[in-house]
């Protein structure tokens, strides 16, 4: 099957294309309805199909004869533990944990929050929820208590699963005090908190509410997977929007299974038995699609790595893992490769490892800069591919489809649209733009299976955020262009979302926090270039009249509050004082102009600008910022 043929068919007749892909799945009831239009512009995939994602990921693989094949390899340089689970072993662990969840009153459709480090039990917890039809929401362990509380109040979980601690290369981060604090702040309370005690820290358990994971599990009985509708939610994944309130992206069981099996085979070129390494965290969408569901539903062996690219113990960590487990292909964010390059610019550590098993490397989460791209290809000697996706889509929108013939890759671009995605570029008025013309990147409806069709408990917000800006199209929030051969170039977000080390964060949320400081009159937070992290936030602050606080002191206080409220992952550590901010005559801060000045890009002062003199002042304050190369 060629890329060209698949792509043309997927756009001309999406229902026929995806009905064929769905054939390969072991449904309890095969869908007879493939695609239905809803009046509000959203779509339903496989409406009358019935399946179970955990069954497909585990039991089905055993039925296909993979029971003794390794399903999951846990490699934890921070604890020194290496552990492997066959499909049989993983299924048995998950079935028992699912039994415990049910014993604790968790049923179909109930929310379960998972706030855990990168341990096998985190993946088991996700699969256990899927087995009984509960809806999991994994919250990244780097988020502070307040962020966890926001998600608890939105997801309204029956149960919260956590561990006593997570581990960095140099310290133990206790999770339980964060959970306790979040539950003090949250209005909603889960009935129980299940705590995995790790030897590096012991958590205090609150009688009546908290339970010891291992003890509780000892008396649990395994349970079988339940039949679910294709449209039943598998999970909620919160992601930053442009406001402080995170968006609960909802992923459905049916579309997700069809899309991920397609992606693993045709985009990533994976076959059953291959070893796949999704280098990410279960707290992000990549962790869901490329650590847990995608590889397991495809019969691969998945690697779950609790470590860093450097310092655990050094910049050869990734290459050691590739060699040790014979990894066939991997996914990684560019920021990790930049960190490795900084420590091993000539690839000396790479050459010490046998990478012969590795066929290719896929990078996403932020733009892959050409310098890192060229370096990585040179030092590994392997094809390196940029590809682009979002939490909302759950699987790649553009990518080289290495499992399809005739699929070319083009360095510098995040490659062509994957079958199923009709990617277009529009100007501000919604007119289609031609090759090489830059505008808003959109996807013509219907979105393919797997893409989110709603936000948890707030369908209106989904419609407003994604479908109403350009009727008939899904609005990605990214700007860029297509070249004449259809290769896509992503230039960055067109909204107030920034990407720090591949983590998506809302500048609006940080602005709210900065503005709460008693000395601050007003502020704007923008993303500025960072050599390793891609972007980091910078706050431009106007002080209240008569305020004498020094910039250094203000910085300490603001850094403290962003750490406390959002978490260290925000990497918020730059504040600049300015006399005023550029605004429209109606008083709106012109953040797009600020971003251009910070990036050293040419810009045209908007006609709505109140006082053009302010731009010179801002340029002077931001003149020393590092620029993208």
Binding site residues, ligand AMP, CB under 6 A: 239, 285, 364-367, 386-388, 390-391, 414, 476-478, 490, 493, 499, 504
Q: How far is the CB of 34 from ligand AMP (least distance, A)?
A: 27
Q: How far is the CB of 130 from ligand AMP (least distance, A)?
A: 21
Shorter beta-carbon distance to ligand AMP: residue 145 or 569 = 569
Q: How far is the CB of 388 from ligand AMP (least distance, A)?
A: 4
Q: How far is the CB of 284 from ligand AMP (least distance, A)?
A: 7
Q: How far is the CB of 330 from ligand AMP (least distance, A)?
A: 15
- Strands of 336-388, DSSP E: 360-363, 384-386
C-alpha 483/C-alpha 522 separation (Å) is: 41
Which of 255, 318, 306 lies closest to 119, judged by CA? Answer: 306
Residue whose entry in the numeric block shows the structure tokens 């419609």? 463
Q: How far is the CB of 244 from ligand AMP (least distance, A)?
A: 17
Shorter beta-carbon distance to ligand AMP: residue 177 or 244 = 244
433 and 30 Cβ atoms separated by less than 8 Å:
no
The helix (run of H) or strand (run of E) holding residue 617 is helix 613-622
Shorter beta-carbon distance to ligand AMP: residue 34 or 506 = 506
Shorter beta-carbon distance to ligand AMP: residue 390 or 440 = 390
How distant, in Å, are the alpha carbons of 75, 146, 178, 220 from that of 86?
A: 15, 38, 33, 21
Q: What are phi and psi of 465, to 5 degrees?
A: -75, -35
**What residues contact residue 488 under an 8 Å CB cut-off, 6+ apart?**
388, 398, 413, 414, 415, 416, 417, 423, 441, 480, 481, 482
Q: How far is the CB of 61 from ligand AMP (least distance, A)?
A: 27
Shorter beta-carbon distance to ligand AMP: residue 231 or 479 = 479
Q: Is the peptide bond before 349 cis (omega within 30 degrees of 0)?
A: no
Shorter beta-carbon distance to ligand AMP: residue 364 or 404 = 364
- Strands of 494-609, DSSP E: 497-500, 503-506, 520-530, 534-543, 575-577
Give CA angle at 48 (46, 53), nearest 5°. Answer: 65
> With left for phi above 0 and alpha for psi between -120 and 50, is residue 27 left, alpha or beta?
beta
Q: How far is the CB of 540 from ligand AMP (least distance, A)?
A: 22
Shorter beta-carbon distance to ligand AMP: residue 86 or 289 = 289
Shorter beta-carbon distance to ligand AMP: residue 232 or 366 = 366
C-alpha 320/C-alpha 318 separation (Å) is: 5
Q: How far is the CB of 474 from ligand AMP (least distance, A)?
A: 12
The token pair that represents 78 in the structure block:
């921070």
Shorter beta-carbon distance to ligand AMP: residue 33 or 628 = 628
C-alpha gyration radius of the chain:
24
**What residues contact residue 456 under an 8 Å CB cut-off, 6+ apart?**
154, 155, 233, 236, 248, 249, 250
Shorter beta-carbon distance to ligand AMP: residue 365 or 449 = 365
Q: How far is the CB of 205 from ligand AMP (least distance, A)?
A: 34
The 3 state secondary structure assigned to 119-156 is: CHHHHHHHHHHHHHCCEEEECCCCCCHHHHHHHHHHHC
Q: How far is the CB of 101 from ligand AMP (least distance, A)?
A: 28
Which of 52, 7, 15 lies closest to 32, judged by CA? Answer: 15
**What residues contact residue 513 under an 8 Å CB cut-off, 6+ apart?**
558, 561, 562, 565, 566
Helices and strands per DSSP (H, E), number in the chain = 21, 29
Q: How far is the CB of 477 from ligand AMP (least distance, A)?
A: 6
Shorter beta-carbon distance to ligand AMP: residue 124 or 526 = 526
The token pair that represents 414 in the structure block:
């995040």
295 and 278 Cβ atoms separated by less than 8 Å:
yes
Shorter beta-carbon distance to ligand AMP: residue 206 or 469 = 469
């Amino acid at each position: 099957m060629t890329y060209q043929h698949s792509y043309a068919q997927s756009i001309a007749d999406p229902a026929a294309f995806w009905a064929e892909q769905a054939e390969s799945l072991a449904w309890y009831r095969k869908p007879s309805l493939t695609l239905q239009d809803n009046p509000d512009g959203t779509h339903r995939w496989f409406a009358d199909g019935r399946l179970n994602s955990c069954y497909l990921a585990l039991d089905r693989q055993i039925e296909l004869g993979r029971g003794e094949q390794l399903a999951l390899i846990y490699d934890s340089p921070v604890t020194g533990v290496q552990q492997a689970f066959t499909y049989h072993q993983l299924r048995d662990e998950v079935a028992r944990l699912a039994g415990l969840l049910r014993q604790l009153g968790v049923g179909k459709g109930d929310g379960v929050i998972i706030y855990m480090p990168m341990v096998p039990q985190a993946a088991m917890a996700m699969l256990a929820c899927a087995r009984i039809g509960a809806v999991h929401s994994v919250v990244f362990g780097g988020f502070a208590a307040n962020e966890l509380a926001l998600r608890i109040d939105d997801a309204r979980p029956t149960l919260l699963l956590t561990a006593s601690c997570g581990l960095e290369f140099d310290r133990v981060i206790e999770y339980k005090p964060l959970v306790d604090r979040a539950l003090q702040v949250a209005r909603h309370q889960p009935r129980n908190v299940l705590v995995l005690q790790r030897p590096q820290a012991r958590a205090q358990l609150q009688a009546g509410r908290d339970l010891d994971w291992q003890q509780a599990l000892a008396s649990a009985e395994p349970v079988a997977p339940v039949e679910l509708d294709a449209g039943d939610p598998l999970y909620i994944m919160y992601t930053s929007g442009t406001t402080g309130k995170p968006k609960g992206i909802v992923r459905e069981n049916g579309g997700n299974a069809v899309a991920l099996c397609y992606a693993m085979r045709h985009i990533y070129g994976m076959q059953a038995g291959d070893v796949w390494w999704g280098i990410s965290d279960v707290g992000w969408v990549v962790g869901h699609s490329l650590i847990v569901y995608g590889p397991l539903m495809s019969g691969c062996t998945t690697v779950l790595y609790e470590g860093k690219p450097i310092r655990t113990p050094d910049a050869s960590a990734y290459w050691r893992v590739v060699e040790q487990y014979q990894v066939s292909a991997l996914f990684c964010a560019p920021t990790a490769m930049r960190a490795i390059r900084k420590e091993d610019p000539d690839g000396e550590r790479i050459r010490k490892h046998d990478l012969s098993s590795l066929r290719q490397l896929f990078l996403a989460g932020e733009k892959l800069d050409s310098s890192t791209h060229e370096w990585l290809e040179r030092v590994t000697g392997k094809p390196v591919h940029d590809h682009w996706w979002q939490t909302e889509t759950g699987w790649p929108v553009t990518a080289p489809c290495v499992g399809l013939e005739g699929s070319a890759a083009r360095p510098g671009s995040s490659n062509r649209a994957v079958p199923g995605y009709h990617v277009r570029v529009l100007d501000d008025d919604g007119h289609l733009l031609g090759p090489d013309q830059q505008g808003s990147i959109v996807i013509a409806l219907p979105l393919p299976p797997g893409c989110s069709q709603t936000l948890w408990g707030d369908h209106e917000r989904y419609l407003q955020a994604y479908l109403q800006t350009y009727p008939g199209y899904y609005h990605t929030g990214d700007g860029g262009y297509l070249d004449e051969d259809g290769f896509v170039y992503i230039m960055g977000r067109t909204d107030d979302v920034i990407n720090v080390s591949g983590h998506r964060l809302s500048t609006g949320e940080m602005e709210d926090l900065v503005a709460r400081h008693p000395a601050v009159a007003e502020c704007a937070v923008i993303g500025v270039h960072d050599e390793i992290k891609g972007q980091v936030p910078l706050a431009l602050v106007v002080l209240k009249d008569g305020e004498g606080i020094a910039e250094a002191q203000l910085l300490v206080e603001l850094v403290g509050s962003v750490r406390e409220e959002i978490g260290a992952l925000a990497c918020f550590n730059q504040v600049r004082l300015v006399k005023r901010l550029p605004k429209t005559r109606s008083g709106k801060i012109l953040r797009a102009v600020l971003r251009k000045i910070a990036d050293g890009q040419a810009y045209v002062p908007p006609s709505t600008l109140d006082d053009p003199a302010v731009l010179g002042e801002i340029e002077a304050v931001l003149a020393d910022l590092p620029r993208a190369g």
